Amino acid sequence: MKVRAIAELVGGELVGDAERVITSGHTLANAGPSDLAFWDHVGRAAAFPATAAGCVLVGPDVVAPGRTLIRVNEPRNAFARALRDLTAGTSAAPGIHAAAAVDFSAEIADDVSVGPHAVVEADVVVGAETVIGAGVFLGAGVQVGAGCHFHAGARVYAGCRLGDRVILHSGACIGADGFGLVFEKDRYEKIPQIGVVEIGDDVEIGANSCVDRGALDDTRIGSGTKLDNLVHIGHNCQIGKHVVMAAQVGLSGGVTIDDYAVLGGQAGIGEGAHVGAKVQLGGQGGLLPDKKLEDGGVFWGTPARPLREHLASQARVNRLPKLQEQLKRLQARVDELEKE
């Protein structure tokens, strides 16, 4: 890809050698002559960093004589944009591997790639250009959109529906039974879980994460939502669009997460709780069952409360030695007064 094409792609101002060929991207420190890099410098002028990068994405006012630059408003975003094109087309060749087990009733669109030892059961529908990696399992009746990429060993239980451009990483498990039990006399009995999981477009689900199917109604994940690794989504959760969950977040059953909420790593949400739109919940935070976090708030701690409040409470606990000291001094003064 020539520098000229990258500048056009990111809508930037090109300075220097427009014909130079760029094949990949790297950090400023480690980039070579055929690499794109970016300089995310904010604030006052700083010396342009030493780099062997063939082309550097920079902010609007950066000057670096003799270098090939592309000036943009957001160098990091532009870098991500360019890198997506630079690294495109590296995925698997279309075709069904001889060692895949694909049911004759499955409808596989054009240019789909099915890897070795993948299993595609009856009545599965797969959209165009989707990549089904080695050992992936798609249960009976699963519906998959176009342009998806399911990495080796991802698994989707029967009946679930996934949109376009969905990414499932290795070991991700979509549609296992929800944890639904009734207590009968002296033991737990299973409530059959007959809902499914419905996932929108452009969703990415991390390695070994689990999204349980609904008990009766469906579990839903809105378009653009991104889950990191080892996340657990309980049955019947309703997750909005463009939600972000860091690794090891856990949601009990029936949780609602509104659009653009961000949950920090290892956060836990109790049954039936509701996280409002654009909420940010700090790592390891815990929301109790049936509670609500209001739209746009920033929360932390267990039980989760507004960040300021949580920090103030921590600060007060940290000041306890001072409080004890004040009390002691006051006692001494009262002792003194009583003597008089």
Retrieve residue 291's tokens: 């509670």
- Annotated catalytic residue, options 235, 242, 274, 310: 235
Q: How far is the CB of 206 from its own copies (least distance, A)?
A: 7
- E-strand stretches of 236-337: 238-239, 244-245, 250-251, 256-257, 262-263, 268-269, 274-275, 280-281, 286-287, 292-293, 298-300, 305-306
Q: How far is the CB of 34 from its own copies (least distance, A)?
A: 13
Q: Does 50 bind its own copies (CB under 8 A)?
A: no
Applying CB under 8 A, among 49, 116, 292, 308 the residue interacting with its own copies is 116
Applying CB under 8 A, among 250, 256, 261, 281 the residue interacting with its own copies is 250
Pattern 69-88, its own copies, x by CB under 8 A: -----x-xx-xxx-xx-xx-
Active site residue 169: no
Retrieve residue 159's tokens: 């009946």
Pattern 282-311, its own copies, x by CB under 8 A: -xx-x---------------x---------
Q: Is there a contact between 272 and 291 (Cβ–Cβ < 8 Å)?
A: no
Q: Which stretch binds its own copies (CB under 8 A): 13-21, 50-58, 104-112, 320-328?
A: 320-328
Angle (CA) 190-218-236 rounded to 5° is 65
Applying CB under 8 A, among 62, 134, 160, 275 the residue interacting with its own copies is 134
Residues 27-46 that bind its own copies (CB under 8 A): 27, 30
Q: Which amino acid is at 238?
A: Q
Rounded to whole angstroms, the Cα distance separating 127 from 144 reads 6
Three state DSSP letters for 310-330:
HHHHHHHHHCHHHHHHHHHHH
Q: How far is the CB of 295 from its own copies (least distance, A)?
A: 16
Rounded to whole angstroms, the Cα distance separating 272 from 283 reads 20
Q: Does 182 bind its own copies (CB under 8 A)?
A: yes
Q: Which stretch binds its own copies (CB under 8 A): 2-10, 12-20, 50-58, 146-154?
A: 146-154
Applying CB under 8 A, among 169, 196, 255, 257 the residue interacting with its own copies is 169
Q: Is there a contact between 249 and 212 (Cβ–Cβ < 8 Å)?
A: no
* Beta carbon nearer to its own copies, 63 or 334: 334
Rounded to whole angstroms, the Cα distance separating 237 from 270 reads 11
Catalytic sites, residue numbers: 235
